[in-house]
Structure 1
Amino acid sequence: MPRVPGQIDQAKTEAILDAAVEVIGERGLAAPMEAIARRAGVSKQTVYNHYGSKAELMRALMQRRVEAITAPLREPGAVENPAEALEAYARSVLETVITTKRYSMMRVIILGSGELPDVAKEVYEAGPLSARRQLAAFLKTETELGRLKVEDFDQAAEFFSGMVMGHSQLRSLLRLPSEKTQEEYGRLAKEAAARFMKAYAP
């Protein structure tokens, strides 16, 4: 069955973003858009039609990543089961941090941030900052429903992220092997959610 135009556009978008992750991970933040287009199997103009600049492309990459990481906060029943939602969110965060292939792009972004500060700004705002704000919004909803008692939602979101990430993020950025197994990370996510719920219990 042939795909409709909207499906074709979406397929090209995903191909471009997937190619950008690979090419930028291999060649750095200054990788030319032509190389991304070749890897995606599209023309350079097609890439620019979708994303007018490298900064816009990186913002789209980060938005897609954040959508995947924060998905547990939007799952049906998440609001009714905040402990489970926070645990699932923590697992999602850890999966991104400890999977070297997915996190290699963040390393090259950091390396190239001095030369391309506008791109670095887009990455931060669409990535870490957006994820924290979505978590803060979730905590606000839970507080309004009486399941949590949080006064500073942004601060609490930062606390939870710090509990989950710990030194794992730094080890990943330094290309050091993980100190924990997948099972241990799962237990960490569960413990972080439990302690957070206890700390902010109404």
Structure 2
Amino acid sequence: MARRRGQVDEKKSEAILDAAAALFADKGLQAKMDEIARLAGVSKQTVYNRFASKLEIAQALAAKRVEDIVAPLRTAGDPQTVLENLALTLLNRVCSADKVGSMRGVALVSVEAPEIAHAIYEAGPLKSLTVLAGWLQEQTRLGLLDVRDAEQAAEMFSGLVLGHGHLRAMLDVPQLAPEKRAARAREAARIFVTAHRPKSSPDRSVQATS
């Protein structure tokens, strides 16, 4: 069966983003739009039809990664289970082999064009923290957690999960082994939920969300 036009367009956009990610990791902003087009297997005009600039491509890449990372927050479950799934997703993203090049690509961009690096941060990591903070606020409203400063707590949870993950990726030193990530995710979620258990009922288990 022939694919509909929307499906074809989506495949082309994905190919462009994949090509851009590879080239940005290798060359930073020195990567050219025609190189991206060539690697993606599309015309240069097709690239410009979807993304007016390399900034728009970088923002789209960051936004796509955010949606992949925060997906566990869209699922039902008790706070500890949801946070454990989020932590494991985050670890697998940051500790993956292809993340090394991505981190270095952002570092290159930050030197050449700090405004683009800031835009990538706002569309990516900051957006992830904002989504997590909103989720923590909702859990507090439901009485399942007691989080006083959701934005600070979101950043602290990220740090608790990743440890030196970003630094290891930047320096290309061995990451946390895959077989240890689940245990790290489980412990990070346990510590966080214990620290933010509702004070009015310290002995009860955190109940599942409806």
| In 1: Cα distance, 2:100 partner to 2:120 partner | 13
Whichever residue aligns with residue 154 of structure 2, its letter is A
C-alpha displacement at 1:100, in angstroms?
2.2
Q: Which of residues 185, 191, 195 in structure 2 aligns to 1:199?
A: 195
Residues 12-68 of structure 1 show CA distances to partners (whole Å, capped at 9, x for unaligned) of 111111111112222223211110100011111111110111111100000001110
State whether structure 2 residue 161 is matched by structure 1 residue 164. Answer: yes
Residue aligned with 1:2, SS: coil
In structure 2, distance between residues paired with 1:103 and 1:63: 18
Match of residue 202 from structure 2: none
Aligned to 1:139: 136
Please give the secondary structure, in 1, of the residue aligned with 2:143.
coil
Q: How does 1:1-202 map to 2 (within 5 A)?
A: 1-75=1-75, 77=76, 80-178=77-175, 180-202=176-198
**Structure 1 spans left out of the alignment, 5+ residues:** none
- Give the C-alpha shift of residue 160 in structure 1: 0.3
Task: Give unpaired runs (5+ residues) of structure 2.
Answer: 199-210
Q: Identity across aligned pairs (percent)? A: 47
1:169 Cα deviation (Å)?
1.7
Q: What is the distance in 2 between the residues matched to 1:176 and 1:15?
A: 29
Q: What RMSD, in angstroms, separates the aligned Cα atoms of the two structures?
A: 1.1
Tell me, what secondary structure is at the counterpart of 2:29?
coil
Distance, in Å, in 2 between the alignment partners of 1:173 and 1:115 is 17
2:84, 2:185 within 8 Å by CA — same for their partners in 1? yes
Q: TM-score, normalised by structure 2?
A: 0.91
- Contact residue 65 and residue 127 of structure 1 kept, 8 A: yes
Q: Which amino acid aligns with 2:179?
A: E
Residues 56, 122 of structure 1: 8 Å contact kept: no
Query: Structure 1 runs of 4+ off > 6 angstroms?
Result: none
Secondary structure of the equivalent of 1:113?
Answer: helix
> Highest CA radius of gyration, 1 or 2?
2
8 Å Cα contact 2:19/2:36 also seen in 1: yes
Q: Is the 8 A contact 1:13 1:50 kept in 2?
A: yes
TM-score by length of 1: 0.94
**1:63–1:47 Cα change, 3 Å:** same
- Pick which of 18-27 and 47-56 moved more: 18-27
- Alpha-carbon distance in structure 1 between the residues aligned to 2:146 and 2:100: 33
**Deviations 1:103-146 (CA, angstroms, capped at 9, x unpaired):** 41121211221221221121100111000001101101111111
Is 1:73–1:135's contact at 8 Å kept on the other side of the alignment?
yes
Is the Cα contact below 8 Å between 2:88 and 2:185 reproduced in 1?
Answer: yes
Work out the CA distance in 2 between the residues paired with 1:114 and 1:173.
Answer: 14
